[in-house]
Structure formats: C-alpha cells, structure tokens
Amino acid sequence: MDTVPISDEDIEHAIEEARRRDSDLADLLTAPTESVPDRLRDMLARHPGLSERQASTGAGLSSNTVTRILNGDIVRPSPQTLEALTEACGTDADYYALMEAAGYKVPVAPNLENVEEGELLAAFRSMDEEDQARLLDVARVWSGRDA
C-alpha cells in the first residue's frame, strides 16, 4: 500500500478547515494525550447512571482498585484491568486510549497496517453517524478529495 506524505502545511490546512466546519471536531483532532485517570473518568462519564462501584463489579474488579486508578495511585494498570474496564463500560477506542495513556504498546489488528489505523478505526466505530460524516469530510479535505 502506497502512503502519501502529509506536510505540516497540509495538516494545518485540514485543521483550519475542520475548525471552520466544526470547532468541536477540530478540538478532538488536536487534543493532547490524557492520563489514565482522565481517560477513565471520561469513559465513566458517558454512563451517567453507572457508579464507580457498578463499573468495578461489571469489570470483575474491586471498587478500591478503580478508585486507586482514578486517584492516580495506580499509574500503570495492567492491560487485563484496562480490558476488563472497557469491556464493562467502554469501547475499543477507550481501550486503545487507556492502553496508550498507561504507556503500553497498543495492539494492531492483523488486517491493519499499523496501530494508528486500528485506533482510527476503533474511534470511528465508536462515533455516531453524524460525527462519522463530519470526520469523513475532514479526511477528504485533508487528503485532497474535498467533499
């Protein structure tokens, strides 16, 4: 598969175009990497009726473990712990984000070229149809195939 080099100017153009179209999406594209506690809080916040205790029970973990992760006392939870949490109340994109935040190499699915492709695919699949359409618009602009 041939790759097309993307210059810094192309990236800036795509981000500016995204900002023009949708400032929230542009912020998502430029968001800095968050810590494990931040990522876990974001994941739990998407389930307003779910308590920390319920999330820990669903993941097969003690509530103390989840609390210690959220407090930053457990800096690098095991991949099994992160997988259990995301299976209980997250998505593939959450798993990739938590693994990355914890400093682990993110696994690549066998049919993908690299980790980034897997992260993009997981993030894309976790979006609603409207956000998917907006992201595709940005990708088309970015790649020169304007929508």
Structure tokens at 46: 């998407």
pTM (2 d.p.): 0.55
pLDDT tens for the chain, 147 residues: list them: 455 566 667 667 776 776 666 554 444 444 445 799 999 998 898 888 888 899 999 999 999 999 999 999 998 999 999 999 999 988 777 888 888 889 887 765 556 666 667 677 777 777 788 888 888 888 888 877 764
| Same domain for 134 and 115 | yes
Residue 62 forms part of a structural domain: yes
Residues 56 and 72 in one domain: yes
- Give how many domains the chain has, as a whole number: 2
Task: Report in angstroms the alpha-carbon separations of 14 from 18, 26, 73.
Answer: 6, 9, 39
Q: What is the domain range of residue 121?
A: 8-31+109-139
**Residue 20 to residue 36: CA distance in whole angstroms:** 31
CATH number, residue 50: 1.10.260
Q: Name the region of 51 (left: φ>0; alpha: ψ -120 to 50; beta: rest).
A: beta
pLDDT at res. 9: 73
pLDDT at residue 67, rounded to an integer: 95
Which residues lie closer than 8 Å to 124 by C-beta, 6 or more apart? 132, 135
Residues 43 and 97 in one domain: yes
